[in-house]
Structure 1
Amino acid sequence: MGIEIERRFLVANEDWKDQVIRSESVSQAYLNSSVDEWATRVRIIDNNKGYITLKSSLNGLANYEFEYSIPRKDAIELIQLSKYKITKIRYQLKINKKNWVVDVFEESNSYLKIAEIELNSESEEIQVPSWCGKEITGIKSLSNASLAKAPISELSVKDRIKIKSL
């Protein structure tokens, strides 16, 4: 069984940039619209590799996650058929011997930057970098699936300010 345990944070400043070891462009789409059920995600990395992922929340910190390679042309077609899409640049970082990612969202989620770290257990302790802001682990409205369905640009000014102040 695939279980992903991760913590997520809003990015507070640009100090993470000097720790980047690699980046990749990500286009992804969701084939269903309920964030309270299983999400079916299609993803293309660097316009090269296609994946389909089945994901469901186990609790606020852990998710069931099953990911499979699929032909690039199938991934392109599925993304084109979906109404719920996001694009982002994913930056890989190595901090205190841990793998972090910073997702810099584009298009309708363009000012949003989210840092993530995958853990080996729910009780694993980490050192949170100073450039991380508010922890958003478990906040469904800021999940990729929710952002694909209700992008930041479609929120009211009041709700955008609320997210920025988290």
Structure 2
Amino acid sequence: MPLEIERKFLIKPNLLDLPKEGKKLIQGYIWSDPDKSLRIRIAGDQSFLTIKTGNNPLSRSEFEYEIPMKDAQDLLVLCDSKIEKTRFVIPQNNLFWEIDVFEGNNKGLIVAEIELSSENENFELPQWIDREVTNESKFLNVELIKHPFSKW
């Protein structure tokens, strides 16, 4: 079973220089329960259907499949609300930090994520990391749709 092991952090925006190029992401959820979700995502010129299961924010099962763009567009119409963000990738020591700059109802929120090969993998925190929020469910995208950052 494919496993996503991911840690999330808030950043210190004044210390982070984002790359010039980012990828626009639009995503919505067909369904979301505390322990499973079905996400539709358009990422640039690609589109995906993703099933996530499990309620451990650090480590969850993830099944992701590329789907036709038209299918993704039609499925996004069925979603009650969507998240829009721009993702920037910063390589560091053979790992990649994904920096999500949120828009719309989540404007002002910037989250850094790093995918790991194990829950205990060691990695270096860049100076622009503020604090870890992996175990704070309000920072999950599925929660940000229901309770956007602008309403906190």
Quote how far apart the aligned CAs of 1:58 are: 5.1
8 Å CA contact 2:32–2:38 kept in 1: the answer is: no
What is the match of residue 7 of structure 1? 7
Asked if structure 2 preserves the Cα contact closer than 8 Å seen for 1:56 and 1:65, the reply is yes
Can you give the 5+ residue segments of structure 1 that lack an aligned partner in the other structure?
A: 161-166
| Structure 1 position 8, deviation (Å) | 0.4
Deviation at 1:146, TM superposition (A): 0.4
**Matching residue's letter, 2:40:** V
Report which of the two has the higher share of helix: 1
| RMSD over equivalenced CA pairs, Å | 1.5
State the match for 1:164 in structure 2: none
Identity of aligned residues (%): 38
- 1:16 Cα deviation (Å)? 2.8
* Runs of 4 or more consecutive aligned structure 1 residues displaced over 4 Å after TM superposition: none
- Structure 2 equivalent of residue 38 of structure 1: 36
In the alignment, structure 1 residue 83 sits paired with structure 2 residue 80: yes
TM value normalised by structure 2: 0.93
Instruction: Please say if residues 40 and 50 of structure 2, whose CA atoms lie closer than 8 Å, have aligned partners that are also in contact.
Output: yes
| 1:85 and 1:149 in contact (8 A); partners too | no
1: distance between equivalents of 2:47 and 2:121? 31
Any stretches of 5+ residues in structure 2 without a counterpart? none
CA distance in 2, matches of 1:62, 1:33: 17
C-alpha distance in structure 2 between counterparts of 1:62 and 1:52, whole Å = 19
**1:15 deviation in Å?**
2.8
TM-score (norm: length of structure 1): 0.86
Alignment of 1:39-118 (within 5 A): 39-46=37-44, 48-57=45-54, 59-118=56-115
Question: Judging changes above 3 Å, is the alpha-carbon distance between structure 1 residues 103 and 62 closer, same or farther for their aligned structure 2 residues?
Answer: same
Cα distance in 1 for residues equivalent to 2:55 and 2:2: 11
